[in-house]
Structure 1
Amino acid sequence: MAKDRSLLPIPAGMRDFLPGEAQLRRVLENKWAQLYTSWSYEEVMTPTVEYLDVLTIDTGEEMAGRLFQFFDRKGHIMVLRPEMTTPIARLMASRLYKDTLPQRLFYGANVFRYDEPQAGRQREIFQSGVELIGASSPLADAEVIALAVEALRQSGLEEFQISIGQIEVFNGIMDELPLSPEDKSKIRDLVAKKDFVSLEEFLQNHHLNLEQAELLLRLPTFHGGKEALEEASILAVNEKARQGLENLHQVYSALCLYGVEEYVAFDLGVLRGFDYYTGIVFEGYTVGLGFPICGGGRYDRLLSQVGYDCPATGFAIGLDRVLLALSRNQQPKTHTKPDVLLGGDDLVEIFAKAARLRARGFRVEVDVLGRQEEALKAYGRERGIADIIYFALSPREDADDVKKEA
């Protein structure tokens, strides 16, 4: 009795990738790996499962509530990694701390977050990204942003934008406010979500003076090109905020030298969701999707939390989100058909021919069902295979086989 297929579900937020879909993922993953390597980044891999205490060092309460966690047989609390920056910080502090800086590392890995599944937001996510560790200069921030731009360009996306913010501008303004750390964290969440109505209500309830409230309400509205950065000079309420704005100018100048300024814009409302960010932060958006396809920034204090005081910056791209954007803008691609189909009775010739063709880069399918010539050709036509070759044993070989049987 056949098994009821309705009894074969997969967990919510997970998905299968069929032939063609899996191939597109692999092609894009390999293309990005080649790109990172050409910029002198080296690949690393970390475990899918790590200890809870390590992966929640500085990721914030929001991420702590989105973890897949469980106990091992010794009672340790384990988690499926929710992102890759903290595992690489651990790797750097425990295994690579003696190596010469800066270190340029890249990865391609699945991460897991217990979010409510929806389009573009799964619970298992494939991320591709880089970490540039050991450099605090604006040139390092510009390098990872320019590399993110190039990765998105090579994916085939034609319309996208990298929105750049600066955490220290926001932190400088927060330093001037007579609020508790909890209230400041709430303001940060509202600014990041661009929830102006709730932000205004919150500020009114906490009796901030008009000038302070106006600065916070205007912060997320500074969005655009270099002119937006010039207008944002009113946010330089102290030295911390002033240095943050100056850092944005320096990074932008370097991005112009890379020739990617058409892909970047400033958005001082970009704050990102992790507590470990300390300077430049950025997110990438494309037409047709209401959520970021990539994100990153500077995290100079994270490595010190694992015993290795070192500046760092990086980014991660959501590969599945990029493919979703491509599928909405282009005709979906089917999986690649074989170039050649081989079949027949002469297995020696079939296998030899297949080896020669594969060595030359052709995709070759060998018939394993013993189809006769007409059946083989019908199968090949159904699959859309252009070249079909049937190898029959010669009459002499047939006669030899008869003699051997006799």
Structure 2
Amino acid sequence: MATVDRWQLPDGVEEVLPAQALVVERLRRQLLDLYRSWGYQLVIPPLMEFTESLLIGLGSDLDLLTFRMTDQLSGRTLGIRADITPQVARIDAHSLAETGITRLCYAGSTLHTRPQSLLASRSPIQVGAELYGDDTLAADVEVIRLMLATLDTVGMHEMTLDLGHVGVYEAVLANAGLDGEREATVFDALQRKSRPDLELALADMDPAIIRLITGLLDLHGDESVLDGARATFAEAVPEALAAVDALQQVAAAIRRLRPGLTIYFDLAELRGYHYHTGIVFAAYVPDHGQALANGGRYNNVGKVFSRARPATGFATDLKALMTLFSVTQIERGAISAPDLDTPGLVARVGELRAAGEVVISCLSGSPDPRCDRQLVEVDNEWLLQPLQS
């Protein structure tokens, strides 16, 4: 009989040990305080829901990422959330049902059936913010600014903002008139940025359509990309120009506030295409291949809850942010206290803890290794002194 290593965890599922947990929790508090200062209210959705509400509206990718089980009380299928965004959309549409603009934020664990990228966790701790009830570019700009402020909190001031708009792809595909099966093949090739596969999928199409669709692969880079897009689409697909103009307006608004920010445009960016309806964006930092945070506009997801609403938002993974944050930036030494219950010592320890200090009772005569100071009684007064090594 094979032996079982009971300490092993599933691939892609990791525990967060004390030093890293300190970073994660400090970041969680700082980010939720940041979002609150911008007017975003905290919500805490449940870890699981009926799949009928959990999986509707955000496409097949989320469906494949979701663990399922049978509810023993109702017999219905439950899903463990792989993304908190649809839960927050349900809260806005059904549980709150407010008029006007609603700003919500959240932080919580999620679970994926498989990693979304080679090095991604299957148990990310998702934190993010969503803005409902405003369909203007100003709302997209606000959410992008908040995403960038999130990375500022981690100390990542050198970053690249990636901007795209699904309206460009939608207009080009509508003009091409592809059937469902071919469109799926084209979408897959574009998503992988595979020119050979894309050309193969379009081999028997009109040369003008082939040039138009394959041309999307070249529309990435600095702001000159937008001029190239206008030249490409002006006559063939004028419907795409509104999306190009929107990208330029959003970039200009962000640059006014962050003139040193690098902005990269990618008009073939199809992340979240199946539910995004407008601007899509992501933030990258040096030496980190994957986007640290991403989001976009996803209007009308609340329609499945009988209340369609404009919506835009972003999310990031606290575990990914943790890897960029030095523990020494937040960790302080602790204070060792004798294991006594004298009133004076108890009162002094209480004062220090209330002031944010870590005070650890010295059990078995040995101070905790984290301690760099100690409480010593001098003339009936408990004073702090350096801990002698």
Q: TM-score, normalised by structure 2?
A: 0.89
Q: Corresponding residue for 2:354?
A: 359
Does structure 1 retain, via aligned residues, the 8 Å contact 2:62–2:83?
A: no
Look up the match of 1:315.
314
Task: Report the equivalent of 1:109.
Answer: 108
| 2:375 match | 389
User: Contact 2:58–2:301 at 8 Å: present in 1 too?
Assistant: no
Between the aligned partners of 1:314 and 1:261, the Cα distance in structure 2 is: 23
Deviation at 1:119, TM superposition (A): 5.6
| Number of aligned positions between the proteins | 375
CA contact (8 A) 1:52 1:78 kept: yes
| Structure 2 counterparts to residues 324-363 of structure 1, below 5 A | 324=323, 326=324, 333=328, 336-343=331-338, 345=340, 347-363=342-358
Q: What's the CA shift for 1:287?
A: 2.0
Which amino acid in 2 is paired with 1:29? R
CA distance in 2, matches of 1:332, 1:76: 44
Distance 1:392 1:347, change over 3 A: farther
Counterpart of 1:176?
175
Q: Does 1:88 align with 2:82?
A: no
Q: Structure 1 residue 65: deviation in Å?
A: 1.8
**In structure 2, do the counterparts of structure 1 residues 120 and 35 end up closer, same or farther at CA, with 3 Å as the change threshold?**
farther
> How far apart, CA to CA, are the structure 2 residues paired with 1:171 and 1:195?
19
Residue aligning to 2:289: 290
CA apart distance, 1:10: 2.6
What SS does structure 2 have at the residue aligned with 1:176?
helix
Q: Aligned in 2, Cα 1:355/1:235: closer, same or farther, shift over 3 Å?
A: same
Q: CA separation in 1, counterparts of 2:328 and 2:193?
A: 36
User: Is the alpha carbon distance of 1:202 and 1:38 closer, same or farther for their aligned partners in structure 2, counting shifts above 3 Å?
Assistant: same
Aligned to 1:208: 205
Query: Take 1:276 and 1:228, find their aligned partners in 2: how far apart are those partners?
Result: 25
Partner in structure 2 of residue 69 of structure 1: 68
Q: Which residue of 2 aligns with 1:229?
A: 226
SS in 1 for 2:344: helix
Q: Assess if the C-alpha contact under 8 Å between 1:252 and 1:261 holds in 2.
A: no
Unpaired stretches in structure 1, ≥5 consecutive residues: 395-406
**One-letter amino acid of the structure 2 residue matched with residue 389 of structure 1:** L
Deviates more, 1:208-217 or 1:340-349: 340-349
1:93 counterpart letter in structure 2? A
1:3-402 alignment to 2 at 5 Å?
6-73=5-72, 74-97=74-97, 99-116=98-115, 120-204=119-203, 207-233=204-230, 234-236=232-234, 237-259=236-258, 262-273=261-272, 275-324=274-323, 326=324, 333=328, 336-343=331-338, 345=340, 347-367=342-362, 369-371=363-365, 376=366, 379=367, 383=369, 385-391=371-377
| Cα separation, 1, equivalents of 2:298 and 2:286 | 28
| 1:347-378 Cα shifts (integer Å, max 9, x gaps) | 333212101222333221122x252xxxx4xx
Residues 227-263 of structure 1, C-alpha deviations (whole Å, 9 max, x = no match): 2212111134334312111211221222123225614
Amino acid at match of 1:232: A
Greater CA radius of gyration, 1 or 2? 1
Q: Please, which runs of 5 or more residues in structure 2 have no aligned partner?
A: 381-389
Alpha-carbon distance in structure 1 between the residues aligned to 2:132 and 2:119:
30
Q: Can you list the C-alpha shifts for 1:264-295, whole angstroms capped at 9, x where unaligned?
A: 22111211135111010112222222222111
* Helix, strand or coil at the partner of 2:124: strand
Q: Give the conservation status (yes or no) of the 8 Å contact 1:67–1:114.
A: yes
Aligned equivalents of 1:118 and 1:61: distance in 2?
17
Pair 1:261–1:222, CA change in 2 (3 A): farther
Deviation at 1:298, TM superposition (A): 0.6
Task: Compute the TM-score of the two structures, normalised by the length of structure 1.
Answer: 0.85
Instruction: Give the Å deviation of 1:226.
Output: 2.0
CA drift of 1:335 comes to 7.8
Alpha-carbon RMSD: 2.4
- For residues 99-140 of structure 1, the C-alpha deviation after alignment (integer angstroms, 9 at most, x for no partner) is 231111111121221114876312111111111100011111
Per-residue deviation, residues 209-236 of structure 1 (Å, max 9, x unmatched): 2221122222132222322212111134
